[in-house]
Amino acid sequence: MKLNKIIRTLVASTVLFAVSATVHAQTLKLGHITPPTHVWHQISEKIAADLAQASAGKMKIAVSPLQKLGSEAQMINLMQAGAQQFGVFTVGGLSNREESLLAWSLPYVFKDVAHATRAVSTPAAKQMLKRLDNSGLVGLGYVFAGMRHVLSLQPVASAVDLKNKKIRSFPSPVYNDWWNAIGAAPTAMPLSEIAPSLTTKLLDAVDVDLDALVGLKFHQQAPNLTLTNHMAFPAVIVVSKKWWDSRSQAERDMISKVVAGAEQWGFKAAIDADVMNLEKVKADGANIIKADIAFFRVVGGKVRDKYIAKNPLIAEFYKQAKDL
């Protein structure tokens, strides 16, 4: 009788332990839109691995690439509800919530990826992250893809070669203004639609970074690469504010520390990737066009002026970032 009671107590406490372990070792979700070859996926996997280690297995993150959890707009909605805890979202996608993030897409502000990573430390860049609070997101850091260039079916040696040409543009107003000002015909589309649109000749050219280009092999469809270097391409590492507010201070500190480490790691990875990816496309036989980009720069200045006049934080950022 006594033995039975001991066994029952043991079974009950085992079940209780298992249930509470399940509750505490909740699997968290991190979503982003890039392919698994992209540097943002590597940074996401690093956050998952480092957080599992720092929390002794309590915080497990499942990383979903290629918009498997939905488009950025859909994932932002999930995060506001607390149903997705982590995201790596383009500044373009987030600028629908916080307009000042458009500052990162102003043409010809940054020389290269290293210059853009230095701009993360500006007060204006930090202020942009703070403002995401108003949209139910906590901005913890930035990540970078490569600089933007033009990939095309026919060689593009100057802006004239893009006159009225259908160019894939990133879905964001600065990109649309930029390509219209150049005289091209921009079509906003996500990464996933570029390959089929090149196949069906719906596009003459593509605005893209080298990391996405190499990962998705767009140069096999459009072999001409003009190194316009017209914009940087950052994303923000965000956490659901609803979920964040329900964590203890110790957990928030742990997550912030893990993300800060991944952010630094990601800066170097993105800088190195931009150099290596150019070598890869060259080795793959892409035709690198020596272009006259003077006109691109002049037009870039006009587009910048429009956005600087529109939003004081964009103006501040430009002032703080341009000469770093």
Report H helices in 162-201.
173-182, 194-199
What residues numbered 232-271 form the site for ligand BEZ, per CB under 6 A? 233
Identify which of residues 182 and 208 has a Cβ nearer to ligand BEZ in the complex: 208
Identify which of residues 146 and 243 has a Cβ nearer to ligand BEZ in the complex: 146
- In whole angstroms, what is the distance from residue 120 CA to residue 321 CA? 9
**Which of 119, 208, 270, 315: binder of ligand BEZ (CB under 6 A)?**
208
Q: Determine, following the binding rule CB under 6 A, whether residue 88 of this chain makes contact with ligand BEZ.
A: no
Q: Determine, following the binding rule CB under 6 A, whether residue 30 of this chain makes contact with ligand BEZ.
A: no
* 62-70, 79-87, 208-216, 285-293 -> range binding ligand BEZ (CB under 6 A): 208-216
What residues numbered 155-174 form the site for ligand BEZ, per CB under 6 A? 170
Identify which of residues 177 and 209 has a Cβ nearer to ligand BEZ in the complex: 209
Output the smallest distance, CB 34 to ligand BEZ, in A.
5
- In whole angstroms, what is the distance from residue 294 CA to residue 145 CA? 24
Q: Determine, following the binding rule CB under 6 A, whether residue 212 of this chain makes contact with ligand BEZ.
A: yes
**Phi, psi at 311, each rounded to 5°:** -145, 120
Identify which of residues 59 and 147 has a Cβ nearer to ligand BEZ in the complex: 147
Identify which of residues 98 and 211 has a Cβ nearer to ligand BEZ in the complex: 211
H or E element in which residue 51 lies: helix 39-54
- In whole angstroms, what is the distance from residue 211 CA to residue 270 CA? 9
Identify which of residues 140 and 212 has a Cβ nearer to ligand BEZ in the complex: 212
**Which of 90, 152, 169, 277: binder of ligand BEZ (CB under 6 A)?**
90
Partners of residue 62 on adjacent β-strands: 29
Identify which of residues 159 and 206 has a Cβ nearer to ligand BEZ in the complex: 206
Output the smallest distance, CB 90 to ligand BEZ, in A.
6
* Nearest-5° Cα angle at 41, 35 to 270: 105
The answer to whether residues 266 and 144 touch, using CB atoms and an 8 Å cutoff, is yes
Q: Determine, following the binding rule CB under 6 A, whether residue 34 of this chain makes contact with ligand BEZ.
A: yes
Give me the half-sphere count of Cα atoms (radius 13 Å) on the Cβ side of residue 33: 23
Distance, C-alpha 113 to centroid of its chain: 13
Q: Determine, following the binding rule CB under 6 A, whether residue 203 of this chain makes contact with ligand BEZ.
A: no
What contacts 25, CB < 8 A, 6 or more positions away? Answer: 57, 58, 59, 60
H or E element in which residue 150 lies: strand 148-152
Q: Which of 184, 189, 187 is nearest to 165 (CA)?
A: 184
The answer to whether residues 314 and 106 touch, using CB atoms and an 8 Å cutoff, is yes
Identify which of residues 146 and 300 has a Cβ nearer to ligand BEZ in the complex: 146
**Which of 124, 145, 198, 321: binder of ligand BEZ (CB under 6 A)?**
145
Residues in the chain: 324
* 23-31, 71-79, 204-212, 264-272 -> range binding ligand BEZ (CB under 6 A): 204-212
CA distances from 237 to 19, 45, 114, 140, 277 (A): 31, 13, 18, 6, 23
By CB under 6 A, how many residues form the interface with ligand BEZ? 10
Q: Determine, following the binding rule CB under 6 A, whether residue 89 of this chain makes contact with ligand BEZ.
A: no
Identify which of residues 50 and 72 has a Cβ nearer to ligand BEZ in the complex: 72
Q: Determine, following the binding rule CB under 6 A, whether residue 191 of this chain makes contact with ligand BEZ.
A: yes
Residues that bind ligand BEZ (CB under 6 A): 33-34, 90, 145, 170, 191, 208-209, 212, 233
